[in-house]
Structures are given as C-alpha cells and as structure tokens.
Amino acid sequence: MTLNKLVYSISPKIPDKKGRFHKLRKSVVIGICLLFLGFPSLAVTPLGSEIVSKDPRISRKGLKKIGSLSNLKKQELVRELLPLLKNKESHKRIAVAKALGRIGPMAVATIPDLLKALNDKGEEGHYFFNFDLRQSVVTAVIAMGLQGIPSLKVALGEKDHWYRYGAAIALSKVNPPLAEKKAVPILVPDLKDPNITIRRGCVLTLGEMGPVASPSVPELVKAAKNARKKPGKKKVSKRTAAHQFLRAEIAETLGQFGSKAIQAVPLLVEELRPDSHASPDTINSDVYIYASETLIKIGTAAVPSLIKALKKEELEVQRRISLVLAEIHPPPVEAIPVLEKVITVANRRLKFVDNEKIREDMLQVLGKIDQKSKAEMTSVLKLEEAKRSEEDMILAILGGKSKSKKAGLGTDAIPTFVRALDHQNRKVRKGAAKALGKMGALASEAVPALSHAIFDKDTDVQREAVKALGLIGPSASESIPYLIHALFFYDTTIRLEAIHAIEVIGPREDKVIPYLLRVTKDEDSKVREAAFQTLVRLGKELPQEFDAAVKDIKDK
C-alpha cells in the first residue's frame, strides 16, 4: 500500500492500479528507492561528500566543519555516514571512522559497526594490517570516552579476532586498569592459535595496548620460542619468513613494556644470535634490531644476562651484545673487565678482515662505556645530594616542620614534586602529593601525574592524590575519569575525597552523574550522603542530563 501511494503521489495523472502503465511506473519508483536506500553513498549531503572525498585536503576541510554542527545535525550525519563503513573504497571507510571520532560520545551507538570494519582485508589484502583503517577506527572509539565502555566489554566476548583486538586497544586507552583485568586474559590464548596471522594480530594488539598488557610477557616469550624452532622440510622458506616476522613483532612488543619485560631478557639475548636454519632469502636483521632496542629499554636489569652471554657466545654475537651494552644508561662498568678479556681472545683469533672490523667495534664500545662511566661518576655525588635534599624537603612538608618559603612551595618546585610521585619511599610520594595540593590551582600542570598517583599501591598516597586534585579545582577537569574510578575504591575516605573533588572540579558534561547515582547505594552512610548532596547540585546545573541518567538507570 505504501509503495502504491508513493507511485500515485509521484504521477497522479497516470492511469490507476489496473491501468497498463502501472507496472512500468512501479518499477521506476522501486528503482529510485533502491538508488537511495541500496546505494547510500550516492545520497550523501554536500558535507558528507566532502568528508569522503578522495582529495585529502577536501576531506580535512569537511572533518573540521563537524565541530560547528548542532547536536541534531551531528545525529543526522551519523545516520548518513554509517552505511559507508561497508563501502568498497578504503579511503571512504577511513574518512567515516575519522568523522565518527570527531562527533565523539554522540556516536557511541556506532561502536559495534566501527569494530566490525576491522574485519576487513581492505585494498591492502591484510585484515589487521590495514594500519590506516585500524588506527582511524580505534581513535574514533577512544573519542567516545567512558560511555563506550559497555560496548567495548561486549565486543571482547565476540568470536571474531579482529573485532576483539580493536576493542582491546580502545579499552586500554579509555580505561587501562579495566583493560589489564578484562582484555589481556581474553587475548593471551590467541598467541597459541594455529593461524600465524591471528598470532601476529594478537602480538600487534598487545603492543599497541602498551604497559597494561605486560602480564602477557610469559606467553609472548613462549610464542617467540615456538617461532624459533627449526621448521620442517616442507615450505621451509615461506614458513621461516613468516615466523621471523612474528619474532620481530614480539621483540618490538616487549619493548613497549620497558622494565616490565625483565622476564624476556634471556629470550632477547638469544634473539641476538643469527638463525642457523634461516633460508637464503630471509634475514633476521629485524629480529636482531628490535631485540637490541628492547634490551636497551629494559636497561640495567638486562646487564647480568648480557655479561653472562658475552663470556660464551661467538665473536659476531659478542659484538652485538657489546653494542647493546654501550647504549644502556647508567653505563654498565661491570662489563668492562669482560669486554677487555673478550677483545684479548679475539686478537688471537684474527684471521679475516671481518674479524678485524668486529674487534674495532668492540674497542670503540669499551672506550664509550669507560668514558661514560667516568662522566657518570663525576656527577653522581651531586645527583645523590640533590635527591637527598628533595627528599628531606618533602618529608619536612609532610611533618609540618618547614615553612612554605623554605620548602620551596612555588611553581619552580612543581617538577620536583612531580618526580617525587614516583619515588620508592611511600612517605616521599605522599608528601609530594600533599605539597602539590597545598599549591592549589598553581599546580595545574601536575594534574596528569596526580591522576596516575590515584592508582598508587599505597592507600595514603591515593588519598592525598585525590585530595590534591580537589584542591587544584576546576583546572583539574581532565582527572575526572580517574576520580570516577576512585568512587569505588575500598577505602571509605578515598571515596569521600573523590566525591568532594568531583564536586569542586565541577561536572564534565553528564559523565559523572550515572556513577554518582550508583554511589548513593554505597554501604557507608557518609558516602551515600555526600553523593546525594553532590547530585542535588548537579541536578540544578544539568537538569536534562540528570533526568536522562535517572531514566536510563530505571530502564535498566
């Protein structure tokens, strides 16, 4: 009936349903409907055409215009662009993902479709290795913020690997603690998948997640060892090349974890050796380069294993190890005697020009380490003295034994206090957070460091960090996502301080309201009362958002 009405509204003068022109008229109308519904890329608005333009300059101009659109126009744009995520042209899919990211939380409903776009070989022909598309999709999902977390949790349970990988990377940027707890255990089993493309995709995902994926180090080590095993006689060249790529990617991923990859040091030292079973058309230079870089990032913790290997390896491997030792800071002076002995032995074995070059490289490394160690020793006393004075100053503030002028409570002291938030002494960390809180709004540059201090292993430090953010005030608005986590900490005083800090800093759109509503059911009466009072104030400032959040909770 609807189609017939559309037919007659387009051409009322043509004979009725029983007339001879009806079928032709009806076919024309169906064609028009298919044109606009079946091929949405042909029905986009001028702005949509700009965004998906093949010319990067036009596309960038279109993306910039999104910020000036009203909320209603943004919603219309979302509906218009969403079908283009399935377009055959890669540049259009990338442009749509970027546009949805610009729209932000208003496009949160598109997260499943965005993640499905990752299961796409693209023009490059490689699922998860379509880097531009993957980066655009993940960046867009991250832009959705905390509102996208429920969708990301659901996505982690999907069977499709690429869908899960995109969700895990986005979650690691939006909510690192949750990603470490939920995403990493789900991804780790994929390191044993028979399909090497799946294993490589998983490794790349863990690397992009960064330090939150460090619990996967033992499994990454096992995966690399399996990839090092000598392949069978069939398809040696192809299989060795694929496995070398995997090993290089594992070495690079371990480098993202820094000192947390200490368990992988023996494997990385092993990766400095040339492959005895590598085929003539494959080179393990990438494996060696990434292994070297990761060992340098691990730093001093890797030195004992490197020295041990230096004593018993072949000359070429000894050269590679010495080059790594030369880049580690502080200089590993304990390696100097071993290097001297290795060079002495090498002198006896010199038979070829290549060996002469190796010996020269090792002599240069020895001189570099020795020179660096001397320079280090000249400044170490001053450095230790400065550290002690900083520590004494912060402890004095904590104990209330110093006046503010003597303690250096000016903006010049902020970098000192920020560094002290990572000090091994918990009292120093606590004192630094307290000192930054005393500075108030002047300490706004310390907000990122204080936000991370909320997750300190010591409860007192957590409390002082939350309190300091509240004392800094509205300029600490970027700490709101971290304070939301603090609302659910075990310690009651931290929960109370978090509520107070959120109230002082002020609302960040409507993000905090659903979480404060949950806190009204807290087991502690003081926490419930504080949350209720804060909600009363937010209800006056953001009435529409407040009503929407209450309705959403009732619906659930």
Asked if residue 539 lies in contact with residue 546, where contact means CB atoms within 8 angstroms, the answer is yes
Q: Tens digits of per-residue pLDDT, 448-471?
A: 899 888 888 888 999 999 999 999
Q: Please determine, for residue 16, whether its predicted confidence score (pLDDT) is greater than 70.
A: no
- Worst-scoring range by mean pLDDT, 143-152, 390-399, 406-415, 483-492? 390-399
pLDDT, greater one: 42 or 508: 508
Q: What is the pLDDT confidence band of residue 408, given thresholds at 50, 70 and 90?
A: very low
Average pLDDT over residues 419-427: 82
Asked if residue 117 lies in contact with residue 74, where contact means CB atoms within 8 angstroms, the answer is no
| Among candidate residues 208, 222, 157, 220, the one with its CA nearest the CA of residue 183 | 157
- Terminal alpha carbon distance of the chain: 38
CA atoms within 13 A on the CB side of 468: 34
pLDDT for 384: 47
Rg (CA), the chain: 30
Query: CA-to-CA distance for 426 and 388, rounded, in angstroms?
Result: 15
Residue type, 479: S
Residue 280: strand, helix, or coil: coil
pLDDT for 43: 47
Burial of 361 (0-12, 13-18, 19+ CB in 10 A): middle
Q: How far is CA 62 from CA 59, 91, 135, 137, in A?
A: 5, 14, 19, 18
Asked if residue 394 lies in contact with residue 431, where contact means CB atoms within 8 angstroms, the answer is yes
Q: What is the pLDDT confidence band of residue 381, given thresholds at 50, 70 and 90?
A: very low
Residue 487: strand, helix, or coil: coil
Average pLDDT over residues 90-109: 89
| Among candidate residues 401, 406, 414, the one with its CA nearest the CA of residue 441 | 414
Locate all alpha helices (DSSP H) within 400-425, ordered by sequence: 404-407, 414-420
Q: Which residue has the tokens 């971290």?
A: 482
Burial of 367 (0-12, 13-18, 19+ CB in 10 A): exposed
pLDDT for 177: 87
| Among candidate residues 128, 153, 148, 142, the one with its CA nearest the CA of residue 97 | 142
Query: CA-to-CA distance for 356 and 340, rounded, in angstroms?
Result: 15
pLDDT for 373: 53
Query: CA-to-CA distance for 331 and 370, rounded, in angstroms?
Result: 8
| Cα Dmax for the chain | 106
Q: Give percent of the chain with pLDDT exceeding 70.
A: 71
Domain spans of the chain? 2-37, 330-402, 407-555
Q: Please determine, for residue 302, whether its predicted confidence score (pLDDT) is greater than 70.
A: yes
Asked if residue 169 lies in contact with residue 154, where contact means CB atoms within 8 angstroms, the answer is no
Asked if residue 202 lies in contact with residue 192, where contact means CB atoms within 8 angstroms, the answer is no
pLDDT for 27: 60
Q: Which CATH number fits domain 407-555: 2.40.50.180, 1.25.10.10, 3.40.50.300, 3.40.630.30?
A: 1.25.10.10
pLDDT, greater one: 168 or 163: 168
Asked if residue 152 lies in contact with residue 111, where contact means CB atoms within 8 angstroms, the answer is yes
Residues ≥6 apart with Cβ < 8 Å to 366? 322, 336, 339, 340, 343
Output the pTM of the full model: 0.56
Q: Which two tokens stand for residue 128?
A: 């998860």
Q: Which of 56-60, 134-138, 544-548 has the highest mean pLDDT?
A: 56-60
Average pLDDT in the chain:
77
| Among candidate residues 125, 69, 58, the one with its CA nearest the CA of residue 92 | 58
